[in-house]
Amino acid sequence: MSIFRAMEISASGLTAQRLRMDVISNNIANVNTTRTEQGGPYRRKRVIFQEKSRDFSFRDVLNDSLSKPRGEGVRVVAIEDDPAPFKLVYDPSHPDADDNGYVRMPNVNIVTEMVDMISATRSYEANVTAINAAKSMISKALEIGSA
């Protein structure tokens, strides 16, 4: 694997984790949104990742599955709604309360969002570290070559 390919893989991780952090931030911002354009409370969003890879024949994969890594990075395939049920909160004075006084609140849990945000931040930092290590190796190789 070339150093530039490693940097491309890490860059795809940076892009994916940045989008994940944006989606998490949007979830946190809408934690109390009971009315959306679609009607009803805000529904939590989550990002779905998939390995980015080229198409290989079965023979190619079988012949060198142990000798060469095949990954090309990561890509976002979807941002989907979380199917978890909404929370019911008793607040008869709320304008969106039903006949029994319950309000359907978004299915966003702040603790879950913060854990996801920490995970995304750590993944982002790991990719930055990998890119910086590759840059350092390139720099050292240039120093060796110039001596």
Q: Is residue 98 part of a domain?
A: no
Which residue range(s) make up the domain with 10?
Answer: 3-31+45-81+109-146
Question: pTM of the predicted model, to two decimals?
Answer: 0.82
Q: Is residue 136 part of a domain?
A: yes
Domain count, the chain: 1
Q: Is residue 77 part of a domain?
A: yes
Q: Is residue 38 part of a domain?
A: no
pLDDT profile of the chain (147 residues), mean per 10: 83 95 97 92 95 69 60 90 95 93 96 97 96 91 80
Q: From 91, 75, 63, select the one nearest 13 (Cα to Cα).
A: 75
Q: Is residue 36 part of a domain?
A: no
Q: Is residue 94 part of a domain?
A: no
Beta pairing, strands 74-81 & 45-51: antiparallel
Q: Is residue 121 part of a domain?
A: yes
